[in-house]
Amino acid sequence: MIAKEDILDLIKIDEGAKKVFLAMSREDQLLAILTMQSYARDKLAELEKKQIKQEEKFDDMQKEVRSYRRYREKKEKDTEDNLTTTQKIDNAFAKRFGKWGTLLFGVLQQVITVIILGLLALIFANRLP
C-alpha cells in the first residue's frame, strides 16, 4: 500500500498545503478531494462547451463560404465575364441578327479574306520578276 506522504510527493503541492491536508480528518480530506474533482469537471465542461461553440461557428463559416462559392460560380456561368472578346462580339451579333448573323459573319469573313488575298496576288504578281 502506498503511504499518503508518497502520494503527496507525487502530486506537486507546496509544504504548507501538504501539512494542512494531512492535519485534516479523513472525511474532510475526502470532501476536499471531491470538491477539487468537482471544480476540475466544471472547468472541463466549460472548455468543452466553448469548443463546441467554436466548432459550430467554424461549421457556419464553412457553410457561408460554400454558399458564396456556389453563388459566385453561378454568377460567373450566367454572365459573360469568362468569355473572350471574340466570343462576346459573336454573342452580340447572334442576338442582333439571329441565324443570319452567324451565316453572314462566319462565311463573310472567309469570303473577304479570299478576295483580299486574290487582290494582293494580282497586285504583287505583276511586280515580281
Q: What is the pLDDT of residue 52?
A: 93
Model confidence at 12, pLDDT cuts 50, 70, 90, reads: confident
129 pLDDT above the threshold of 60? no
Entry pTM: 0.42
Per-residue model confidence as pLDDT tens digits over 13-41: 788 888 888 888 989 989 988 999 999 99
Sorted by where each begins, the domain ranges of the chain are 1-79, 83-129
Q: What is the pLDDT of residue 35?
A: 92
Mean pLDDT of 56-69: 92
Is 93 in contact with 101 (CB distance < 8 Å)? yes
122 pLDDT above the threshold of 70? yes
Per-residue model confidence as pLDDT tens digits over 81-110: 667 787 777 778 778 877 776 677 677 788
Mean pLDDT of 62-89: 81
Q: Which residue has the higher pLDDT, 42 or 19?
A: 42
Instruction: Give CA–CA dist 125/129, Å, rounded.
Output: 9
SS in 3 state form for the chain? Answer: CCCHHHHHHHCCCCHHHHHHHHHCCHHHHHHHHHHHHHHHHHHHHHHHHHHHHHHHHHHHHHHHHHHHHHHHHHHHHHCCCCCCHHHHHHHHHHHHHCHHHHHHHHHHHHHHHHHHHHHHHHHHHCCCC
